[in-house]
Structure 1
Amino acid sequence: MSEIDVVLWDIGQVLYQSPFERFGELEERTGMPEGTLPRGPFVPEGDAEYDRVDSGERDEPEYWRDIEALARETVPGLHLYDALRELGWEGKGRPVVVGLLADIPSRYRQAVLTNDATKFLGEGWKASWEYAHYFERIVDSLDIGVRKPDPASYAAAVDLLGAEASRVLFVDDLTANVEGARAAGLQAFRFDTTDPAASVAGLRALLGL
């Protein structure tokens, strides 16, 4: 990899546990039978629909709408994102990732590029976000009007940071978003949500930490 000035993070399933990891808790709380909701990449035999999202063959928001519709077959009127927010995300950051965030600022700038984190963290989340102090800039698709992996999303983040695209390392869990970043001229690292410790070890090695 080339020299790096900025580490640009996705947060949804990288910094935090993924919804898949909390669906068991959600099923128990709402009375859904265990295993009602899909577990995405955490299914040993694989999940074809999630794989299509990961590769970019399927629209991610549409995928989550289908999961919400599935949940409503058991719990009529359930709003998936509201139910997930009620489980609470504060203090639920992955410790191994939070530890890395704390170590990075001594050598690199850090920022966020996320696709509408409001759905999970609630309205006005940036104003009181517990991890905001690690990042000099939080770029949300709602603010820039375009979602990853659209090339314009990465260009907007790079422009707001006043950085060179080739010196920005983008970290995301979806292959489509990682490949989109590379196509936009950024360096990129795919975070494996099923093995956060290995992913963080790989990032530490890459960043010389």
Structure 2
Amino acid sequence: MTGRPSGAVRDWLVFDYGQVISLPQPPAAVAAMAELAGLPQATFDEGYWRHRDAYDAGWPADRYWSHVVGRPLPADDPLVAELDRADIASWSQLNPRTVELVTDLAADGHGLALLSNAPASIATAIDAADWAGVFHHRLFSCRLALIKPDPAIFAALLHRLGAPAHRVTFVDDRPENVQAAAEAGLTALRYPDVPLPTRR
């Protein structure tokens, strides 16, 4: 989505998705994925995270899950679709506090954007969600072929917003992403220690 909100927007609030808009993955959901993959929990976890940056940067699902399970999976293998659905569900539990905050900020006329490291399946699910409509721009690593904390992703964000860095406040839960955003000139805040404006 690339449209601008009505009226001139001078300042932007940009939110991460995982563990900011969404809650952390439930352990039971991760355990269910390990069971689907037929792997011990520790083995699954190691593969899931070791290859996640590449997946977030644009790897197709079959390539990612092949690396996770340790054997080739063709794109039409039902296991790929099952793991993808389970993965999406594991990241789909929303943080009601943050959702209420961004809804109120949008109602008050703030310019809002989302910048998330996410694979294509999760990006598509977010785009289809009703709550995501409050964001005037939604940028995902899989579509940019860039992942946080690469400085280039913040340059891409500023280009999309058409705003100078000092007009942009960025909120993320990971210290390395907050630091990279600050080094790019954005006002960078770590969630949940965020003194954000409340609705007037």
Tell me which interval the TM-score lies in, with the shorter structure as reference length: 0.5 to 0.7
Normalised to the residue count of structure 1, the TM-score between the two structures is 0.64
Length, aligned pairs only: 172
> Is 1:5–1:168's contact at 8 Å kept on the other side of the alignment?
yes
Partner of 1:104: 105
Whole-Å Cα distance in 2 between the matches of residues 171 and 60 of structure 1?
21
Normalised to the residue count of structure 2, the TM-score between the two structures is 0.66
What SS does structure 2 have at the residue aligned with 1:138? strand
Q: CA RMSD in A?
A: 3.9
What is the CA-CA distance between 1:148 and the residue it aligns to?
1.2
Whole-Å Cα distance in 2 between the matches of residues 10 and 23 of structure 1?
21
Partner of 1:174: 174
- Structure 1 residues 208, 98: closer, same or farther in 2, change over 3 A? closer
1:24 and 2:28 matched: yes
Whole-Å Cα distance in 2 between the matches of residues 133 and 31 of structure 1?
33
- Structure 1 residues 61, 146: closer, same or farther in 2, change over 3 A? closer
Instruction: State percent identity of aligned pairs.
Output: 28
Consecutive unaligned residues of structure 2, counting only runs of 5 or more, are 1-9, 57-64, 74-78
> Is 1:12–1:117's contact at 8 Å kept on the other side of the alignment?
no
Whole-Å Cα distance in 1 between the matches of residues 170 and 83 of structure 2?
26
Counterpart mapping for 1:111-190 below 5 A? 111-119=113-121, 121=122, 124-125=124-125, 127-190=127-190
Whole-Å Cα distance in 2 between the matches of residues 156 and 178 of structure 1?
16
Match of 1:7 among 7, 13, 33: 13
What SS does structure 2 have at the residue aligned with 1:159? helix
Whole-Å Cα distance in 2 between the matches of residues 146 and 86 of structure 1?
20
Consecutive unaligned residues of structure 1, counting only runs of 5 or more, are 41-48, 192-198
- Structure 1 residues 139, 86: closer, same or farther in 2, change over 3 A? closer
Whole-Å Cα distance in 2 between the matches of residues 173 and 61 of structure 1?
16
Partner of 1:82: 84
How far does the alpha carbon of each residue in 1:33-87 deviate from its partner, in whole angstroms, 9 at most, with x for none? xx9359x9xxxxxxxx9xxx9xxxx99627x9xxx89x859xxx87695263364
Partner of 1:43: none
> Is 2:29–2:86's contact at 8 Å kept on the other side of the alignment?
no
Structure 1 segments of 4 or more deviating over 4 A?
A: 77-81
What SS does structure 2 have at the residue aligned with 1:163? coil
> Is 1:151–1:181's contact at 8 Å kept on the other side of the alignment?
yes
